Amino acid sequence: MASPPLLLLQNIALTLGAKPLIEDAELSVSPGERLALVGRNGSGKSTLLRIAAGEIESDKGKRFFQPDASLRYLPQEPDLSGYATTLAYAEAGLAPTDDVYKAQYLLSELGLTGEEDPARLSGGEARRAALARVLAAEPDVLLLDEPTNHLDLPVIEWLEKHLAGLRSALVLISHDRRFLQNLTRATVWLDRGRTRRLEQGFGAFETWRDEVLEQEARDLQKLDRKIVEEEHWITHGVSARRKRNMRRVGELGELRQQRRDARGVQGGVKMEAAEGKVSGKLVIEAEGISKTYGERAIVTDFSTRILRGDRLGIIGANGAGKTTLIKMLIGELEPDAGHVRLGANLEVAALDQKRMQLRPEWTLKEALTGGSGDWVELNGAKKHVIGYMKDFLFAPEQARQPVTKLSGGERGRLALARALSMPSNLLVLDEPTNDLDLETLDILQEMLNDYPGTVIVVSHDRDFLDRTATSVIVSEGEGQWLEYAGGYSDMVAQRGYGVLAPGVAAPGSAGSGVAAPEARGKTSNGVSTLRTKNGSRKLSFKQKHALETLPKKMDENRALAARIRKELENPQLYARDPARFAKLSDALAKTEKDITRAEEEWLELEMLREEMEG
């Protein structure tokens, strides 16, 4: 029997301005559920999440939340004003019964001390403080709106692992495909004001969405044909000339109204990069370049050759020096040692992470035209600025809207539109995925793959790097940078681990915590072992102990699960004691998860033991 929902939204509708934003939305969150909430920018995802959190009320519909359950909500732009330190802000989210030390622990895990002044935080630091606040309470329901925005890869991967280990139910809005794929088990699609639910995680969503839209298109074609047939009958039918069949006339009116009410899918972004002259075969050659600020080495003795058509990803934690490396590569910053040679006919178009090229005093039109005229020149052809705005989903009435009034997603699209309108044969994109929806990301990826020039991209989006990069340059710490063929996943496969936070030693290196006489090794199935001085492998003490004790632990958990199931099978339990029913359901889900985890661990260790004995 399914657990009753902790949070339930029914028939939610909300109108902002003159246009309905949400018309008929549903959201049901049961204990332990992992939901992705997806939809185009502007479809109302964040608004629906705010309604779920109780932050705003809908015009109609019902919101139900279990009275004895707890909920925490992470907004896209958290407000830390009114708090003296990040610790004070994080602790303010705790309930009286929560662990008061959890907030400090999470701040430390997220790279903050707790003593930071909230008024002086960067966007990424504010996001980490807000995450510590909502996670410290370990609520029954977590509503997270773009939790990975402005975070670097080490923090994103830490957050992913932390959320995977929580008992909380999750509702996630994110543009990070890999994050959604790894964490969600069901998907709610908010489209044209209404929600549809898929009982599978985000990994299955895009195929399902395309099938739904294709079926809609077929249904509309059938409706159009039926309207044409009915109109022909009204005009030319023999019986119609003698006496109108009013019932059939009424049905035609209903068909026409049905067609008018069928809201089409929001138009897609149309991206095209203005192409410059063809560059030389060699685009950039760097030999032994280094850069130091004070006593800190940012880049040390780095060399690379970038050829026309390469798609190069730059990967590293925040503060690793990615921007400094790019500036040296494109000739904006002189290295302390070594030299950079730029190829012939190089024309660079750049998109900076903070969108600094967008002046606050500009209107949207001025940003696209350079402050004068009504035309944008693209590949030798002039296009009216209103038409170019529509390609990036801006309405004509936004032409005179100040840049400061645009949302994060709109600023991202505007910055891209401006960068792509400049003739280039080298695109340098610093965090281009920030604030873009998934459909826009798809189009950006296609455009980059079709772009005839060379691309250098800085990104913390693992899926985006896998889809676009032909090689990646990764910070190894202490000014060392190494290049790997392929995208992010290829890099992880080659080096054995992902991106590390600054100051964290790589696995197996000095200072990583591995005892000096015995170095870490890996078997073919990925289980870490110890390698002795003479080179033979052996199980560690911890692995031997686990191999011996896991069978007993699994038997105990199976017996516990059986007792819980027997009590849940009582048909009167839910009506008599719903709180007890919910508690038992949670306990059963946790016990089954523990059994699965223990079985997998035991199987890996048993396979390892047999391999070593063989």
CATH number at residue 599: 1.10.287
List the one residue out of 421, 437, 440, 492 whose CA is nearest residue 462.
Answer: 492
User: Would 164 be classed as within a structural domain?
Assistant: yes
Can you tell me the mean pLDDT for 501-505? 62
Give pLDDT, residue 456. 94
3-state class of 331 per DSSP? coil
Contact at 8 Å (CB) between 317 and 153?
yes
Give pLDDT, residue 403. 81
Q: Enumerate the β-bridge partners of residue 312.
A: 456, 471
In a 13 Å sphere around the CA of 58, the CA atoms on its Cβ side amount to 27
Same domain, 84 and 167: yes
User: Would 181 be classed as within a structural domain?
Assistant: yes
In a 13 Å sphere around the CA of 393, the CA atoms on its Cβ side amount to 23
**Domain span including residue 56:** 7-202
User: Would 522 be classed as within a structural domain?
Assistant: no
pLDDT, one tens digit per residue, over 396-424 is: 888 888 888 777 667 777 887 887 788 88
Same domain, 194 and 225: no
Q: Enumerate the β-bridge partners of residue 172.
A: 36, 144
pLDDT, one tens digit per residue, over 427-455 is: 898 888 876 778 778 878 888 888 888 99
Q: Give the model's confidence band at 258: pLDDT under 50 very low, under 70 low, under 90 confident, else very high.
A: low
Contact at 8 Å (CB) between 66 and 141?
no
Give pLDDT, residue 415. 80
pLDDT at 426 over 60: yes
Same domain, 192 and 213: no
Return the residue matching tokens 């790589």: 506
Q: Which two tokens stand for residue 429?
A: 């994109």
List the one residue out of 87, 152, 88 whose CA is nearest residue 113.
Answer: 87
Classify strands 471-477 and 311-315 as parallel, antiparallel or unpaired.
Answer: parallel
Strand order in the sheet with 337-342: 296-307, 282-293, 337-342
Contact at 8 Å (CB) between 113 and 107?
yes
Same domain, 479 and 433: yes
Same domain, 404 and 480: yes
Residue ending a domain, choose from 173, 202, 231:
202
Same domain, 230 and 197: no
Contact at 8 Å (CB) between 305 and 284?
yes
Q: Angle 9-13-14 (CA atoms, 0-180°, nearest 5)?
A: 120
List the one residue out of 117, 85, 88, 90 whose CA is nearest residue 103.
Answer: 90
Q: Give residues with Cβ within 8 angstroms of 276, minimum separation 6.
A: 345, 347, 423, 424, 425, 453
The b/e string for 368-383 (b: 16+ C-beta within 10 A; e otherwise) is bbeeeeeebebeeeee
pLDDT, one tens digit per residue, over 42-90 is: 788 999 999 999 999 999 999 999 999 999 999 988 999 999 999 999 9
Element (H, E) at 475: strand 471-477
Q: Give the model's confidence band at 536: pLDDT under 50 very low, under 70 low, under 90 confident, else very high.
A: very low
pTM greater than the 0.75 cutoff: no
pLDDT, one tens digit per residue, over 571-597 is: 788 778 878 888 888 888 888 888 888
Q: Which ranges in 70-199 belong to alpha helices (H)?
A: 86-91, 102-109, 123-136, 153-164, 177-183
Contact at 8 Å (CB) between 240 and 234?
yes
Residue ending a domain, choose from 495, 525, 551:
495
User: Would 521 be classed as within a structural domain?
Assistant: no
pLDDT, one tens digit per residue, over 89-127 is: 999 999 888 888 999 999 999 989 999 999 998 888 999
Can you tell me the mean pLDDT for 501-530? 44
Give pLDDT, residue 363. 86
Q: Give the model's confidence band at 474: pLDDT under 50 very low, under 70 low, under 90 confident, else very high.
A: very high
| Higher pLDDT, residue 6 or 525 | 6
Q: Angle 253-254-256 (CA atoms, 0-180°, nearest 5)?
A: 65
Q: Give the model's confidence band at 505: pLDDT under 50 very low, under 70 low, under 90 confident, else very high.
A: low
Give pLDDT, residue 514. 36
Give pLDDT, residue 397. 82
pLDDT at 280 over 80: yes
User: Would 527 be classed as within a structural domain?
Assistant: no
Same domain, 234 and 154: no
Same domain, 138 and 64: yes
3-state class of 345 per DSSP? coil
Return the residue matching tokens 């989210």: 93
Contact at 8 Å (CB) between 336 and 325?
no
User: Would 153 be classed as within a structural domain?
Assistant: yes
Same domain, 114 and 216: no
Q: CATH number, domain at 14?
A: 3.40.50.300
Kindly report the backbone phi and psi dihedral angles of residue 409, in degrees, each rounded to the nearest multiple of 5, phi listed first. -65, -40
Whole-number Å distance between alpha carbons of 134 and 102: 11
Q: Give the model's confidence band at 254: pLDDT under 50 very low, under 70 low, under 90 confident, else very high.
A: low
SS (H, E, C) 191-235: ECCEEEEECCCHHHHHHHHHHHHHHHHHHHHHHHHHHHHHHHHHH
Give pLDDT, residue 562. 87
Return the residue matching tokens 């006919």: 345
pLDDT, one tens digit per residue, over 281-327 is: 899 999 999 999 988 899 999 999 999 999 999 999 888 899 899 99
Whole-number Å distance between alpha carbons of 569 and 563: 10
User: Would 504 be classed as within a structural domain?
Assistant: no
Q: Give the model's confidence band at 235: pLDDT under 50 very low, under 70 low, under 90 confident, else very high.
A: low
Residue ending a domain, choose from 151, 182, 202:
202
- CA gyration radius for the chain? 29
3-state class of 245 per DSSP? coil
Give pLDDT, residue 33. 95
pLDDT at 233 over 90: no
Same domain, 221 and 192: no
| AA letter at 49 | L
Return the minimum-mean-pLDDT range out of 31-35, 479-483, 595-599.
Answer: 595-599
Q: Which two tokens stand for residue 420?
A: 């792509």
Contact at 8 Å (CB) between 420 and 272?
yes
Give pLDDT, residue 413. 79
Q: How many helices (H) and strands (E) does the chain have?
A: 19, 23
Return the minimum-mean-pLDDT range out of 28-37, 78-87, 539-548.
Answer: 539-548
Same domain, 458 and 604: no
Same domain, 440 and 586: no
Q: How far is CA 119 from the centre of its chain?
A: 26
Burial of 444 (0-12, 13-18, 19+ CB in 10 A): buried
> How many distinct structural domains can be found in the chain?
4
User: Would 513 be classed as within a structural domain?
Assistant: no
Q: What is the DSSP letter of 6?
A: S
Whole-number Å distance between alpha carbons of 118 and 133: 13
